[in-house]
Structure 1
Amino acid sequence: MAMNNMFQWVRQVSGKLGAPMVQSIDQTSPQHQSFMRQLQKDLKAKQPLLEPLDTLDFTVLDLETSGFYPDGGDKILSIGAVKVKKGKVVYDETYYSTICEPDALSPEVSGLTGLTKEELDQSPSISEVLQSFYEFINTDILVAHHAKHEKKFLQHATYQSSGMQFRHRLLDTSFLYQIAVPGQSAVELDACCDYYDIPINNRHHALADAIMAAELWVCTIQEAMQIGYETLQDVYVHLNRQPR
């Protein structure tokens, strides 16, 4: 799917993909608990460090949140994600849901994201959304722009909803960007996308931002491999040698 058509699709489905994507799930059911336990076992067994970067399965994600501090009461408002397989963005494998947190939505965040209290009020709970999200990502390596933000919210929400730890490997887009584009100080998603001429559309919509981050990730995979960084281990070794 072409990028412009993809962003048109994002705009069309925005506000329609909350409740229909997520069936009601009993978080205490044996089936749910069994799924989460098996997923954590599979993640522990997975050893991706020596596999070529362009053969790995990634899910690139973005969260829209009510603030920056989950321990202080801030909430996840929406989750968007897209698959990257064999070094390509898979535009027809996406995930998007809003979350039932209408009281957490401030006018400022509503203006930034386009989310509304009415939309969130009709959305599934965070527990339901996380279950369907984990089914979507399975054992994929996760990627996000400014991944520390996503990680702390997913850690908090996963433990609060299931009592289990967040076990997925979560990489920041800067992980490869600083190798592919040495000396560049760009940290904002817009600036990184501008460098690669990636179209910037519908910013602060979780799925649109995830797609832009995925495009960025694919570009940096290609450049990193061209200069000799074939695997995650190659990248980790290089980054560990850099001055702190």
Structure 2
Amino acid sequence: MKEPNGVGRMWNLYKMGGFTPAIASMLGSQHAQQMAQIRNMNRSQRKLSELDMNLTDLEIVVFDLETTGFSPANGDEIISFGAVAVRGGQVIEEESFYSLVNPKRMIPPAIIELTGITNEMVEDAPDLIQVLSSFMQFIGRRVLVAHASGHDKQFLNQALWKTSKISLNHRVIDTMMLAKWLEPGLPQYDLDTLLNRHHIPISNRHHALSDSLMTAQLWLEYMQKINGRKNINTLGDLYAYLSQH
């Protein structure tokens, strides 16, 4: 009897034992465990509704990614994750996350100059699935915040789909959108402009953790502005206002 090929073998394993055993056989138990962790964390997020939570009670993770370029569809990859917790109106610097990632491709010279991350630095860095699993455990069920989040969400969703065939379930708030609503008419809304405007010291730009820490300070500035406004008490209120502006 002819042995099934890779796809057929995986399908037979799936029918006998389910998704994780099938992946474990094809990719190895460590990758299967990391994939299961990613899927479980994402699945648990679907059960949580934060829209009725008061903004002052939200637990936030501000995050940033550095990448080899600007298009995951064209093969660009994540080269570092950075994140920091915000709780009770304070940035919890000791509760932070940072890791390089081996992108399995060369980092372009322009990105090396921008980020300071070299090919030698990522050569022995963990693979994407390992860092992504740790990152998902770090963020847990908390709401995510990022500046110009479209770029980060695009790469994060690509990474989740590539490693675990899922999409991000976490809510993401964009500080650029907050800035456009709360400070209309500015000529630019890039992170450097807004940090300077709010007298937040800029250091080590385009380092994922440093950018997360500075964006977290910007988030707190905007939360102070929002707390003084009527009818914006919950995350649902904030989403409603952002959708109108």
TM-score normalised by structure 1 residue count? 0.83
Pair 1:110–1:58, CA change in 2 (3 A): same
Q: What is the distance in 2 between the residues matched to 1:102 and 1:115?
A: 14
2:35 touches 2:133 (CA, 8 Å); kept in 1?
no
1:48 touches 1:232 (CA, 8 Å); kept in 2?
yes
Q: What is the distance in 1 between the residues matched to 2:74 and 2:235?
A: 34
| Unmatched 5+ stretches in structure 1 | 1-24
Q: What is the distance in 2 between the residues matched to 1:116 and 1:107?
A: 9
2:68 touches 2:76 (CA, 8 Å); kept in 1?
yes
Q: Deviations over 1:142-161 (max 9, x none)?
A: 11111000001001111111
Structure with greater Cα Rg: 2
Structure 2 match to 1:220 = 222
Q: Which moves more between the two structures, 211-220 or 232-241?
A: 232-241
Q: Deviations over 1:33-87 (max 9, x none)?
A: 5433432332112111121212101110111111111011001011111011122
Q: How many residues align?
A: 217
Structure 2 match to 1:230 = 233
Q: What is the distance in 1 between the residues matched to 2:103 and 2:53?
A: 40
2:70 touches 2:76 (CA, 8 Å); kept in 1?
yes
Which residue, 100, 107, 110 being the options, matches 2:109? 107
Structure 1 match to 2:164 = 162
Tell me the SS of whatever aligns to 2:157: helix
Pair 1:69–1:224, CA change in 2 (3 A): same
* 1:27 aligned onto 2:36: no
- The one-letter code sitting in structure 1 at the alignment partner of 2:31 is Q
Q: What is the distance in 2 between the residues matched to 1:219 and 1:84?
A: 12
How far does residue 126 in structure 1 lie from its aligned partner after superposition? 0.5
* 1:239 aligned onto 2:242: yes
Give the superposed CA RMSD.
1.8
Q: Which moves more between the two structures, 32-41 or 53-62?
A: 32-41
Tell me the SS of whatever aligns to 1:28: helix
Q: Deviations over 1:154-175 (max 9, x none)?
A: 0111111112222211221123
Q: What is the distance in 2 between the residues matched to 1:201 and 1:102?
A: 29
Structure 1 match to 2:9 = none
How far does residue 108 in structure 1 lie from its aligned partner after superposition? 1.1
Structure 2 match to 1:50 = 52
Structure 1 match to 2:140 = 138
